[in-house]
Structure 1
Amino acid sequence: MSHLRLAILLPLLAALGGCNLVVMAPAGDIAAQQRDLIVISTVLMLLIIVPVMALTVFFAWRYRASNKAATYKPDWNHSTGLELVIWAAPLLIIICLGALTWMGTHLLDPYRKLDRIAAGKPVPATVRPLEVEVVALDWKWLFIYPEQGIATVNELAAPVDRPIHFKITASSVMNSFYIPALAGQIYAMPAMQTRLHAVINHPGRYQGFSANYSGSGFSGMRFGFLGLSDADFDAWVAKAKEAGGTLDRAAYLALERPSENVPVMRFAATEPRLFDAIRNLCVQPGKMCMSEMMALDAKGGLGLAGLHTTLPLAYDKYSRRGGNQAPFGEEPRFIASICTVEEAKAMMAMAPPDTTARDLTPIRGLGLPLPALALPSLTPPALTPRRPQTFTELLGLARPSQS
């Protein structure tokens, strides 16, 4: 029987041998400090868990029914010394965990600039952080290097022992930027910017991915992170410049379209302040940036006259850019909500005259035919039932007469 158990356990041990414990053996100082927090917290909690589990087994064995030599005190109910041990030990551990958490929360704040690149190695005064602008797209990662003037898709690189300053945002839904070997994860959210300061201490190729589900292409939303020497990083930048192409607004709008399992792409140049336009949701020409709209709101807004300025600028990338995802075509459409009839009349009076011929044909559910309906109770017996052709006719049949 023992040989059979051993044969069953061997495949499990072999499977565990293929595990990549990168979280417990990271290559970056921030991730290493986070690893230390995990280890110290686990050891502190085990100081209680292990003795409790051991004593549970010991008491069950020591005071078993067959052990007549064990002391039997059915009326025992209190021990001051035992109470002190039971309550003092967990209290001390909670105090230690609280202090550790408080210090780690402040020292490892992702927004906090690095004061060291490794244990005992402060950041040299002459070293400038590498600026990287990160955009989570559907379903790929865009990295913009403003200092180098390049951009890449699904590939990130940084020199060893040089602080990295990430600015992170998203184009549509929330994602989570995570490189286990470098630092902890941090969310990427549309119309917002998060930050992360980190450093890589050992050269190599590491894996990054999104740790927050974001749709059907989520599983392929992975990228390579390269830790390079200064010379190799310069060569990597030169390789990106040789690829050609410019990441301007038009190229970004094409890149932003949802796509899955995208290979590595490189752009030799980028449009200035493109990341700010992405974060402010105003990459498309004619869009008002969120920062500008908030500035107007802070000054009291534009009143009714602002409806004609701001309503066409509402951010709705799928229905306003045409293509297969625009149910009403390429023309911008919007519905205004006015509080009172007087305001609606005032708005209509300020609107410019509309000379465009409009198609007043009722909308039939995005062009789909109306399903066959049988309404015998609403049709006089003497008339032949006729299937309604539009939703207007259907409402007319279902609505009681007003006469």
Structure 2
Amino acid sequence: MLSKLVRGVAVASILPLLAGCNLVVIDPSGDIASQQSDLIIISTILMLLIIVPVMALTVFFAWKYRQGNKNAEYDPEWHHSTKLEIVIWAAPLAIIIALGAITWVTTHTLDPYRPLDRIDAERPLAEGTEHMVIEVVSLDWKWLFLYPEQGIATVNELAAPVDTPIQFKITSSGIMNSFFIPALAGQIYSMAGMETKLHAVINEEGVYDGFSGNYSGEGFSHMRFKFHGLSQDGFDDWVEKVKSGQTFLGRPQYLELEKPSVKEPVQYYSSVDPELYQAILNMCVDQSKMCMNEMMHIDKNGGGGLAGIYNVMSLTYDVPQMRGSQPLPDSKSFVATLCTTPEGGLSGEIANLPLFDNVPVSRAMSVVPSAVSAGF
């Protein structure tokens, strides 16, 4: 009797908590998330068309053919029913076809890389409307948002005007994370050296939760931020507030910000190095490193010859305790940078080194002022 009373009290205490659940995934405020919500609901209903009858029939057959029911039909020779087979196979097949068709259509219409063609179900996007670009960088364990059009940046706070299409460009400083604002759109992974994209729009003013949906280590549970959906005037005021400070985000400041930290407070940067995001994406904020796009360009043009074999400069991203706090361990020599003179030839002594093939290298690939930084 006591155990039943305790169980009842426990259940009763849980009900108020359930009443406060936030069903943002089912009732979001952004058009993309709303379409995804519709997909979830439609898929659930279609599957319930099979699940509910099967569960009901399971109970019905167990009751009808129970041992105590002497009036139930008994046919020990029964082994097949064409009608029953048709029902058993036709209904699930129809559901699978319907789900397949819906999945195929929504896979294309809700492709995160696909620019938006509408503000919501009733308002198409006007021809020629440009998407607002926001560059997203996941750090350990915080979020950096760069606004190239406004020339500002923020940490752990994001804002956008209502009914304005947004193009997110997403990357990571190291560990893979997942950029997720349930009220806005589905989650998209961020990966070092790669750029993923997400197109979305917020349709209602408000403050929404954003976080990482992919476990990434010690500070993961605190890797959260607030997304502010604002009117155009409200967004302009927010931009002015960010610009009112005198904080610049350049390469040195980013390298400090990049170091692991937990529960990082909101930070504003009134101005930003316009080349910073591309340097983060190509993993060469530290200018002693060759950028990935430069390395790929060299490979595309035939490689760096024998000297390029050791073009494997260690990345401090890979070992948290080494992020600027300790010197790199002893390792093999490497080619850090190749560049050419304005006339197009390799300059200085490097032109006569026998280990190099005569591979044309673009002068634009230089990331340090010297002609070459190499060791053999």
Q: What TM-score, normalized by structure 2, do the two folds share? A: 0.84
What CA distance in whole angstroms lies between the structure 2 residues aligned with 1:19 and 1:237?
33
| Letter of the 1:185 counterpart | Q
> 1:76–1:143: structure 2 CA closer, same or farther, 3 Å change rule?
same
SS of the residue 1:39 aligns to:
helix
Report if the CA contact (8 A) 1:135-1:188 is conserved: yes
What CA distance in whole angstroms lies between the structure 2 residues aligned with 1:156 and 1:235?
14
Shift of 1:319: 7.3
SS of the residue 2:29 aligns to:
coil
Name 2:103's counterpart in structure 1: 101
Name 2:183's counterpart in structure 1: 181
Within 5 A, what are the aligned runs for 1:124-135?
A: 124-125=126-127, 127-135=129-137
Choose the corresponding residue for 1:56, options 55, 58, 66: 58
Within 5 A, what are the aligned runs for 1:253-332?
A: 253-306=255-308, 310-311=311-312, 313-317=313-317, 325-326=325-326, 329=327
Name 2:160's counterpart in structure 1: 158
Shift of 1:191: 0.3
Shift of 1:318: 6.8
What CA distance in whole angstroms lies between the structure 2 residues aligned with 1:12 and 1:29?
33
Name 2:215's counterpart in structure 1: 213
> 1:322–1:109: structure 2 CA closer, same or farther, 3 Å change rule?
closer
| More deviation, 116-125/178-187 | 116-125
Choose the corresponding residue for 1:334, options 316, 331, 334: 331
| More deviation, 116-125/175-184 | 116-125
Name 1:225's counterpart in structure 2: 227
Aligned residues: 339
Shift of 1:324: 7.3
SS of the residue 2:316 aligns to:
coil
What CA distance in whole angstroms lies between the structure 2 residues aligned with 1:147 and 1:280?
21
> 1:138–1:18: structure 2 CA closer, same or farther, 3 Å change rule?
same
> 1:60–1:86: structure 2 CA closer, same or farther, 3 Å change rule?
same
> 1:71–1:253: structure 2 CA closer, same or farther, 3 Å change rule?
same
Shift of 1:8: 4.1
What CA distance in whole angstroms lies between the structure 2 residues aligned with 1:7 and 1:319?
50
Report if the CA contact (8 A) 1:206-1:225 is conserved: yes
Name 1:197's counterpart in structure 2: 199
SS of the residue 1:147 aligns to:
coil
Within 5 A, what are the aligned runs for 1:116-131?
A: 116-125=118-127, 127-131=129-133
For residues 135-183 of structure 1, what are the alpha-carbon distances to aligned partners after superposition, in whole Å with 9 as ceiling and x for unaligned? 0001100000000000000000000000000000000110000000000
For residues 344-395 of structure 1, what are the alpha-carbon distances to aligned partners after superposition, in whole Å with 9 as ceiling and x for unaligned? xx86xxx99x9xxxxxxxxxxxxxxxxxxxxxxxxxxxxxxxxxxxxxxxxx
Report if the CA contact (8 A) 2:32-2:200 is conserved: yes
> 1:89–1:147: structure 2 CA closer, same or farther, 3 Å change rule?
same
Name 1:370's counterpart in structure 2: none
For residues 79-126 of structure 1, what are the alpha-carbon distances to aligned partners after superposition, in whole Å with 9 as ceiling and x for unaligned? 111111111000000000100111111110000010111012101235
SS of the residue 2:153 aligns to:
strand
Report if the CA contact (8 A) 1:131-1:145 is conserved: yes
Name 1:89's counterpart in structure 2: 91
Identity level (%)? 58
SS of the residue 1:292 aligns to:
helix
> 1:287–1:83: structure 2 CA closer, same or farther, 3 Å change rule?
same
What CA distance in whole angstroms lies between the structure 1 residues aligned with 2:219 and 2:319?
21
Report if the CA contact (8 A) 1:136-1:175 is conserved: yes
RMSD, aligned CA: 2.6
Shift of 1:336: 5.1
> 1:118–1:319: structure 2 CA closer, same or farther, 3 Å change rule?
closer
| Letter of the 1:181 counterpart | A
SS of the residue 1:135 aligns to:
strand
Report if the CA contact (8 A) 1:150-1:241 is conserved: yes
| Letter of the 1:119 counterpart | A
> 1:318–1:72: structure 2 CA closer, same or farther, 3 Å change rule?
closer
Shift of 1:321: 10
| Letter of the 1:15 counterpart | L
> 1:47–1:250: structure 2 CA closer, same or farther, 3 Å change rule?
same
Report if the CA contact (8 A) 2:31-2:201 is conserved: yes
Shift of 1:20: 1.1
For residues 319-350 of structure 1, what are the alpha-carbon distances to aligned partners after superposition, in whole Å with 9 as ceiling and x for unaligned? 79977742xx36x742259xxxxxxxx86xxx
What CA distance in whole angstroms lies between the structure 1 residues aligned with 2:280 and 2:246?
22
Q: Determine whether 1:32 maps to 2:34.
A: yes
Q: What TM-score, normalized by structure 1, do the two folds share? A: 0.79
> 1:56–1:247: structure 2 CA closer, same or farther, 3 Å change rule?
same
> 1:95–1:55: structure 2 CA closer, same or farther, 3 Å change rule?
same
| More deviation, 96-105/317-326 | 317-326
Shift of 1:202: 0.4
Report if the CA contact (8 A) 1:127-1:162 is conserved: no
What CA distance in whole angstroms lies between the structure 2 residues aligned with 1:93 and 1:336?
61
What CA distance in whole angstroms lies between the structure 2 residues aligned with 1:305 and 1:175?
35
> 1:318–1:60: structure 2 CA closer, same or farther, 3 Å change rule?
closer
Name 1:369's counterpart in structure 2: none
